[in-house]
Amino acid sequence: MPYIQNSDADRKAMLQAVGVDSLDDLFAAIPKNLQVDGELTIEEGLSEAELLRHMDALAAPNQPAAGACFLGGGFYDHSYPALVDHLMQRSEFLTAYTPYQPECSQGTLQWIYEFQTMIAEFCGTEVANASMYDGASAAAEAALMALGMTRRNKVVVSAGLHPHTRETILTYLKHLAAEVVEAPLVDGVTDWQDCIDEQTAAVLVQQPNFLGNIETMAAVVDQAKQVKALSVASIYPVAMGLLQSPGQLGFDIVVGDGQSLGVPLGYGGPSFGFFAASQKAVRKLPGRLVGISTDTEGRRAYTLTFQTREQHIRREKATSNICTNNALIALRGCIHMAALGPEGLEEVACVSRQRTLEMVQVLEAAGFPRAFPRQSFFNEVAFLAPSEDVLLRYKKALKENNLFGVLPLAPYYSGMENMFTMACTEKTLPADIQRLGTIAASLMQQEVVR
């Protein structure tokens, strides 16, 4: 073990302390066929210049969506004010002291408190926590919290929930005595028939769903209440500029991913999740929660409160093993929301929706009809291609013209081999939408000739 700076005497003392005579005895419990026989095949070390060149080569396949981006599926190319980058990089935030000791971190606690307030406002709930790792972990934590609060073992998940989120929920609950039931999609929206019963702890739905379609949310709340299950909504924050907030509709828990709130695409991360709920669930919230009070001199003071994390003394009673928040990225969301305000969020939503309507008109005229024409949508739409080959050729043609779009649905859903989604945001230019249509029309013309 030359890479560990211990002398022979050090190693002998440690082996004696654990009650074995040699390293072979220490690893005896590991089957021989799993042990490495001989030296590890590790290449020689690199110089700094060589290492940088190697890392550049590894990173080269990652290409940013530098042109017009029509990709969606959970991450969207929204704009954000320049002050988001400027304020986030101030040393007070980049080097902020951890809020475990409130007397040293009032500034950090204050912005987290403001963040919680804004999240709760657009979710329509009474409380929100200090953020989660991402939207997927927030949804999984909601399912976990519902199991604990209801003492039941069944979670009903819409098939319209983001595929990665569904996988995360399955991972969370894999080793618990819990059943995860997936409610299927019918004509692009969730069919809850015969899925929800008296054993259901939580019902999870996404708004808009992964296909871009608008779900009927009030019906979800009603069905959950009938069996005394908790209703959980995973939302796209920008859509709340036009749609009614889940909290106002009666949802018990509202979660989501905050990437659209001032966070760049960043090759898929990092982002932050948010978690909001009704007041009755405040003592069960995972992660951090900042409260406001007064100190001994009557001054306003912020502190962490209602903490239910695993490092507390009674760890067996902890409601979650989430012990922190994505502080610096959540700060971006806080600054972004403060800069936009409710009217700004509504404007972003309206422009995104308008650009999407224009895109639908152009692509349908070119020969790509909507896959679910009877459903309402926000800023993402599922289209139908004549074949999977045409779908892939369209994606390639867009990329060659510095346009990024076409998210195939086949990897996520059976029976959707010829379907793909496209999304618009307030950054989308009408000229780029016209280019989408021109390329699509040319491709379809070639298909006719073939």
Distance, CA of 135 to chain centre: 3
- Which H/E stretch holds residue 339? helix 327-366
pLDDT at 310: 47
Instruction: Determine phi and psi for 264, rounding to 5 degrees.
Output: -70, 165
Percentage of the residues of the chain whose pLDDT score is greater than 90: 78
pLDDT at 38: 83
Model confidence over 63-73: pLDDT tens digits? 888 889 999 99
Architecture of domain 82-337: 3-Layer(aba) Sandwich (3.40)
- Please check whether residue 272 is in contact with residue 326, taking contact to mean a CB–CB distance below 8 angstroms: yes
- How many angstroms separate the CA atoms of 357 and 136, rounded? 29
Model confidence over 185-195: pLDDT tens digits? 999 999 999 99
The pairing of beta strand 253-257 with beta strand 230-235? parallel
Split at pLDDT 50, 70, 90, the class of 253 is very high
- Please check whether residue 336 is in contact with residue 260, taking contact to mean a CB–CB distance below 8 angstroms: no
Query: Which of the two residues, 269 and 353, has the higher pLDDT score?
Result: 353
Model confidence over 15-25: pLDDT tens digits? 999 999 998 89
212, pLDDT greater than 60: yes
Percentage of the residues of the chain whose pLDDT score is greater than 70: 96
- Please check whether residue 382 is in contact with residue 421, taking contact to mean a CB–CB distance below 8 angstroms: yes
Tokens of 273: 């999740």
Instruction: Determine phi and psi for 277, rounding to 5 degrees.
Output: -160, 175
Mean pLDDT over 264-270 rounds to 90
Mean pLDDT over 165-171 rounds to 97
Nearest-5° Cα angle at 193, 191 to 195: 100
- How many angstroms separate the CA atoms of 442 and 262, rounded? 36
Instruction: Determine phi and psi for 183, rounding to 5 degrees.
Output: -80, 125
Poorest-confidence range of 31-45, 332-346, 389-403?
31-45
Class for domain 343-449, per CATH? alpha beta
Q: What is the pTM of this model?
A: 0.88
pLDDT at 1: 45
Name the average pLDDT for the chain. 92
Domain ranges across the chain = 82-337, 343-449
pLDDT at 324: 78
CA nearest to 225, candidates 150, 285, 289, 118: 150
345, pLDDT greater than 50: yes
